Structure formats: C-alpha cells, structure tokens
C-alpha cells in the first residue's frame, strides 16, 4: 500500500513520453490533445514558453515541457503534440514528445517520490506509478505550471 505522504491517488492518468522517460498526469486535468499547430511567438517570455495558439477562437499559451524541465530541445515529429490542460479555469498547452495511453493506476501501484536530498525539488511529482516493469512519473501539473498559471490569470484578469 502507498505511504501516507504520497500525493498521487489512484485513478486514470494520461501517460506521455518526454525523452526516454514516461510521465503521467491526472486525466481530469486534461481538456484535449491536439496535433502540433502554428505557435505565435510572444516577446519577453521565458524560453520554455513557445508562444500562443488560437484554439477555436481562444488564445492559449503553450509551454514546451522539455525546456521547462531543462531538457534539450528537439525537432518536432509527427508524434509531437500539445496537451491542453485546464487548471483553475485557465487553459494552457503543453508540448510533449508522444502521447502513450490512458492508464488506470491503482493505489498499491503508486509510491511517493524518492528523496534526492535538500537540493533537489520533487514537489512537482505526485508519485511514481509502477506499471509492469516500467515506471511513470506522475506529475502534479499544477505545481509544474503554477507560476505560469498565475501569470496567465493576471493577464486574463481572473
């Protein structure tokens, strides 16, 4: 059984690849998955902010999760896509390498994030899902995008 300090709860997670690692986020946070589209660059934003897209008349900021996680940038492939997440009524697009699948992960298959010491922040990890012989890093997408949501909310006046 998972330990009490594990924030991840059992349920459905959308899993995706980023580099050689597999991640998951709570399916309830996912609004939709769209293919790559033209992203309009915005000046004076952090390097991990790719820009904005127009999705059915709504302007949505897009963040490159590779750059947010300090991974090297790569060329887009046919599998590269944008996951649109809904965080407190704010829509944000997240560029990922490849969508994998939706998994129903039971509580006994989730472990708390490992402790890497005081210098390594793992507060953006809800837990580690153990699926067969692999692991999925279950992200707290609100923590990953927290400051970005705050900025977008201020701009939108929410």
CATH superfamily of the domain spanning 11-156: CheA-289, Domain 4 (2.40.50.180)
Q: How confident is the model at residue 151 (pLDDT cuts 50, 70, 90)?
A: low
Q: What is the pLDDT of residue 158?
A: 46
- Compute the distance between CA of residue 13 and CA of residue 117 in angstroms, rounded to an integer: 27
Q: How many helices (H) and strands (E) does the chain have?
A: 3, 11
With a cut of 70, say whether residue 117 has pLDDT above it: no
Torsion of the alpha carbons at 51, 53, 58 and 63, rounded to the nearest 10: -50
- The reported pLDDT for the residue numbered 115 is 72
Structure tokens at 42: 């915005």
pLDDT in tens, 31-54: 999 999 999 998 888 889 999 999
**Per-residue model confidence as pLDDT tens digits over 132-146:** 889 999 999 998 988
pTM above 0.85, yes or no: yes
Tell me what pLDDT residue 146 has.
Answer: 82
Per domain, the residue ranges of the chain are 11-156
Q: Pairing between strand 98-105 and 11-18?
A: antiparallel
Closest to 12 (Cα-Cα) out of 108, 106, 98, 141: 106
- Mean pLDDT in the chain? 86
Over residues 77-91, the mean pLDDT reads 93
């Amino acid at each position: 059984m998972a330990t009490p300090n594990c924030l991840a709860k059992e349920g459905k997670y959308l899993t995706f690849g980023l580099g050689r690692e597999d991640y998951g986020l709570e399916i309830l946070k996912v609004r939709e998955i769209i293919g790559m589209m033209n992203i309009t660059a915005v000046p004076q934003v952090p390097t991990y902010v790719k820009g904005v897209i127009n999705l059915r008349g709504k302007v949505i900021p897009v963040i490159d999760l590779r750059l947010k996680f300090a991974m090297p940038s790569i060329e887009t492939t046919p599998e590269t896509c944008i996951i649109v997440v809904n965080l407190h009524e704010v829509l944000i697009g997240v560029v990922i390498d490849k969508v994998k699948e939706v998994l129903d992960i039971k509580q006994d298959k989730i472990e708390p994030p490992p402790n890497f010491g005081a210098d390594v922040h793992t507060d953006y990890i809800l837990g580690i899902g153990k699926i067969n012989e692999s692991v999925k890093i279950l992200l707290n997408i609100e923590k990953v995008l927290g400051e970005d949501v705050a900025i977008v909310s201020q701009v939108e006046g929410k």
